[in-house]
């Protein structure tokens, strides 16, 4: 993990503006987290789920000049905007892709909390080690000393999933992507889309699958390569870089086969269970 202050633009991100007199209420009724926590200096991490409780898109929400800005992955932006438009119905809300007006920036390292980022700066609400984020007006000079790949390596070292790459769309339940531990859901806020199934999974506990970090002892196999404990399938690789990757793993099978070596396409690997995820 990086210790020196590192500032990296994240050009893969996009921004949606949600405005109008009913914007907060509109989002409060459909997303997983509590809109009462959103200010111009404090953001939330949240998701939009399918009615069946699976992830459609994750994003950060921050307030700006009466609007709410959603920092989301560019690959998910068109689908997210389309789904938000569908749910708007007659609500007094405007939805606009304003990606051309903003650049998303991350700052991480030991002194990230005191980084002087321009624009709308906020602490990453997932885990402290991810540092700061900012939405910076397009054209503003940023004292960047790294690129997005450096940030991705930092994220992977911390074991934090990238929903667009690791969970897909309409494939993974929110809790399987560690949303509870990443402060992306408020189970006390009331109803939202997919809330009933998500709450049921929370109450019952004992998740069978999780997105977890793994460390490899050789060249990274392709995404979706099966992970074997001996000869038994226990999951699949997702995104990765170098020796670090994220995998969707059957935690019950991992426990049952804990004495067996793990491999993916013949490459040995170990699960690097982070301290921010309870066992």
pLDDT band for position 2 (cuts 50, 70, 90):
low
Going by pLDDT thresholds of 50, 70 and 90, the confidence category of residue 206 is low
Q: Give the mean model confidence (pLDDT) for residues 123-139.
A: 95
DSSP 8-state assignment for residue 38: -
| Interval 171-203: pLDDT, tens | 899 999 999 999 999 999 889 999 988 888 888
Q: Report pTM.
A: 0.94
- What's the token pair of residue 268? 């040995």
Q: Which of 18-27, 119-128, 161-170, 258-267 has the lowest mean pLDDT?
A: 161-170
Q: In what order do the strands lie in the sheet with 94-97?
A: 44-49, 55-64, 67-73, 13-19, 94-97
- Please report, for the chain, the start and end positions of each structural domain, with discontinuous segments joined by +: 6-163, 208-279
Reported confidence tier of residue 243, pLDDT bands at 50, 70, 90? very high
CATH of 208-279, one of 3.40.1640.10, 3.40.50.720, 3.90.1150.110, 2.40.30.110: 2.40.30.110
Which pLDDT score is estimated for 144? 92
What's the whole-number mean pLDDT along residues 222-239? 96
Q: Is the pLDDT of residue 10 over 60?
A: yes
8 A C-beta contact, residue 126 and residue 133: no
Work out the average pLDDT over 146-153. Answer: 96
Digit-coded pLDDT (tens) for 36-58: 999 999 999 999 999 999 999 99
Average pLDDT over residues 50-69: 96
82-112 pLDDT per residue, tens = 999 999 998 999 999 999 999 999 999 887 7
How many angstroms separate the CA atoms of 124 and 101, rounded? 21
The pLDDT, as a whole number, for residue 168 is: 81
Contact 214, 269 (CB under 8 A): yes
User: If you ran DSSP here, which 8-state letter would residue 196 be given?
Assistant: H
> pLDDT tens digits, residue range 221-230?
999 999 999 9
Average pLDDT, the chain: 94
What is the pLDDT averaged over residues 247-268?
A: 95
Q: Which pLDDT score is estimated for 253? A: 95
- Strand, coil or helix: 95: strand
Q: Which percentage of the chain shows pLDDT scores above 70?
A: 99
Say yes or no to pLDDT of 1 above 80: no
Contacts of 108 (CB under 8 A, 6+ apart): 2, 5, 6, 8, 129, 130, 131, 132, 151, 154
Give the 3-state DSSP-derived string for 138-171, with helices as H, strands as E and coil as C: CCCCCCCCCCHHHHHHHHHHHCCCCHHHHHCCCC
Query: Rounded to whole angstroms, how far apart are CA atoms 211 and 172?
Result: 9
State which fold the 6-163 domain adopts: Gyrase A; domain 2 (3.30.1360)
Q: Please tell me the predicted confidence (pLDDT) of residue 278.
A: 86
Q: Which of 8-17, 104-113, 142-151 has the lowest mean pLDDT?
A: 104-113
């Amino acid at each position: 993990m990086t210790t020196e202050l590192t500032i990296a633009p994240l050009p893969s991100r996009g921004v949606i503006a949600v405005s109008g007199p009913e914007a907060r209420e509109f989002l409060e009724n459909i997303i997983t987290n509590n809109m009462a926590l959103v200010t111009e200096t404090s953001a939330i991490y949240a998701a939009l789920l399918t009615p069946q409780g699976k992830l459609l898109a994750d994003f950060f929400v921050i307030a700006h000049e009466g609007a709410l800005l959603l920092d989301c992955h560019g690959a998910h932006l068109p689908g997210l905007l389309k789904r938000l438009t569908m749910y708007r119905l007659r609500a007094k809300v405007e939805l606009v892709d304003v990606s051309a007006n903003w650049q998303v920036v991350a700052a991480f390292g030991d002194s990230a909390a005191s980084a002087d980022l321009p624009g709308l700066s906020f602490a990453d609400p997932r885990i402290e080690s991810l540092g700061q984020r900012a939405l910076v007006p397009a054209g503003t000079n940023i004292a960047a000393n790294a690129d997005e790949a450096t940030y991705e390596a930092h994220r992977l070292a911390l074991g934090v999933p990238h929903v667009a790459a690791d969970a897909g769309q309409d494939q993974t339940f929110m809790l399987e992507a560690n949303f509870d531990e990443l402060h992306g859901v408020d189970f006390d806020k009331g109803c939202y889309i997919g809330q009933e199934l998500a709450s049921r999974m929370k109450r019952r506990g004992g998740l069978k699958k999780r997105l977890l970090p793994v460390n490899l002892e050789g060249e990274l196999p392709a995404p979706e390569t099966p992970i074997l404990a001996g000869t038994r399938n226990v999951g699949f690789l997702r995104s990765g870089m170098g020796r670090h990757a994220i995998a969707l793993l059957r935690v019950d099978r991992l426990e049952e086969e804990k004495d067996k070596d793990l491999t993916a396409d013949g490459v040995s690997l170990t699960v690097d269970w982070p301290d921010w995820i309870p066992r």
